Every structure is written in structure tokens, then in C-alpha cells.
Amino acid sequence: MQYILLVALLAIPVLVFGFRRKSGQESEESEDRGVFLEDVQIRYVNLLFGPLSPLGKPEKITLHHTASTNDTVQSIHAYHKSKGWAGIGYHYVVYANGEVWQGRPSDKKVAHTEMQNEGNIGVCFVGNFDTHSMPQKQLEVGKALIKQIQRTKGIKTVTFHKNLKSTNCPGKNFPYSSFLQLS
Ligand SMILES: [Zn+2]
């Protein structure tokens, strides 16, 4: 009995340090793969839309914030439907943790900027950038996403909601210059 106890006690540090070393290696690996952000993983959830019309020729990307800290692609979808829209008005939603979710299909016209939705790709960052600054992870993934959209859609222009309409969106602390120096 005492022998078993001794073996068990000796095993604890081995297990603890063994796991530590393993998780250390894993985080090193994911840091090494930093460039994989060039190819952003888009997550999908099944959203039900009303009638949608085609996007038109892609011309620009417009950035927004949710002005809240805890929205999800589903909650934005429900909110926009409650306003009588066909569904979520943005093509992509970037969470604070760096997850990117597909909202409206990217070949369909959105409803994020009144009268200026033709060929306009809408990207919304979850957060209130009037009161907070953007977490590093969200910024990195957001920039990679915009570059990916520019590359795949063949467009350069990045603008912000407040340039198209009288609004503070996406907030005074939004890292504007980071998104204007992508290419
Ligand atoms: Zn906006």
C-alpha cells in the first residue's frame, strides 16, 4: 500500500511537467504558423434568410463595430431580422477572440450601409470601439480577413461606416490606420 502511494506521488511531477512541456510545444507550433492568418478560417452557422439579391460588382469593403461586447453572428442576425431585413446585414463578423463567422453569403447584397450596399462587402467587428480598443488577436485576424477579401474579390478600397453615413461607427478607438495600410 505504501509502495503504491510512493509510486503515485512520484508520478505526479512527471505528469505535470510532461503535460507542461507538451502544451508549450503546441503553442510554439501555432506561433510558427502565424502566416496561416493569410488564409483566415471562416466559420459557418446555418442562418435562415429572406429573399436576397446579388451583390453586384465588388467595389469596396466597409468596416463596422457592433457597439456591444457580447454579440454573436446569431444575435446580430436575429436583431436585423427584427428590423424587417432579410437577415444579418454583414458578410463577415469578427469576434474579439479572433473567430470569423460568415453572415450573409458573400455573393449577396447586404444591408449594412443604407443606399450604398451595391458591391459593398460588410465586415463587422464585435466590440464597442468608442469605449475600448481592439484586442490584438481581433486586429490581426481582421487585417488578414480584409487582405483575403481584397485578394479573392479583386478590390482595394477599404472604408468605414462613418465615411458613408452620419454615424460614429466603428468608434473613435477603432484602429483605422491599420486597415488602410494593408496592400
Ligand atoms: Zn456600422
| Ligand 1 center–CA 67 separation, angstroms | 9
At residue 39 the predicted structure's pLDDT band, cuts being 50, 70 and 90, is confident
CATH number for the domain harbouring residue 98:
3.40.80.10
For range 108-118, the mean pLDDT: 78
Residue 57 lies in a domain: yes
Q: Report how far ligand 1's centroid is from the alpha carbon of 17 (Å).
A: 48
> Quick check: is 72 in a domain?
yes
Question: Does some domain include residue 142?
Answer: yes
Q: How far is the CA of 183 from the centre of ligand 1 (A)?
A: 23
Q: Calculate how far, in angstroms, residue 29's C-alpha sits from the geometric centre of ligand 1.
A: 36
Pick from 57-66, 73-82, 85-94, 107-116: least confident: 107-116
The DSSP output letter for 54 is B
Gap from CA of 167 to ligand 1 centroid (Å): 7
pLDDT at site 1: 53
CA–CA dist 93, 125 (Å, integer): 6
Query: How many independent structural domains does the chain possess?
Result: 1
Beta-carbon contacts of 73 under 8 Å, excluding residues fewer than 6 positions away, are 45, 47, 88, 93, 101, 102, 103
| Residues present in the chain in total | 183
Tell how far the Cα of 143 is from the centroid of ligand 1, in angstroms. 17
Residue 15 resides in a domain:
no
Q: How far apart are CA 117 and CA 52, in angstroms?
A: 12
- Per residue in 79-90, pLDDT (tens digit) is 999 999 999 999
Question: What is the predicted pLDDT for the residue at 36?
Answer: 41
Angle at 33 between CA 45 and CA 27, to 5 degrees: 90
- CA pair distance 134, 98, nearest whole angstrom: 11
Whole-number Å distance, alpha carbon 18 to ligand 1 midpoint, is: 48
Separation of 63 CA from ligand 1 center, angstroms? 7
What is the reported pLDDT for 181?
80
8 assigned to some structural domain: no
Classify the C-alpha dihedral 170-176-179-183 as positive or negative: positive
Ligand 1 centroid to residue 157 C-alpha, Å: 17
Measured CA to CA, the distance from residue 139 to residue 143 in angstroms comes to 6
Q: What angle do CA 39, 88, 173 make, to 5 degrees?
A: 65
> DSSP 3-state helix, strand, coil percentages of the chain (rounded to 5)?
40, 15, 45
The pLDDT, as a whole number, for residue 5 is 52
Q: Is residue 14 part of a domain?
A: no
Query: With pLDDT > 70 as the criterion, what percentage of the chain qualifies?
Result: 77
Range of the domain at 110: 23-180
- Residue 52 domain-assigned? yes
Question: What is the whole-number distance in angstroms between the Cα of residue 112 and the centre of ligand 1?
Answer: 7
**Whether the model pTM is above 0.85:** no
Instruction: Please compute the mean of the pLDDT values over residues 156-170 and round it to a whole number.
Output: 95
Under the banding of pLDDT at 50, 70 and 90, the label for residue 117 is confident
Residue 139 inside a domain? The answer is yes
Q: 10 alpha carbon to ligand 1 midpoint, in Å?
A: 58
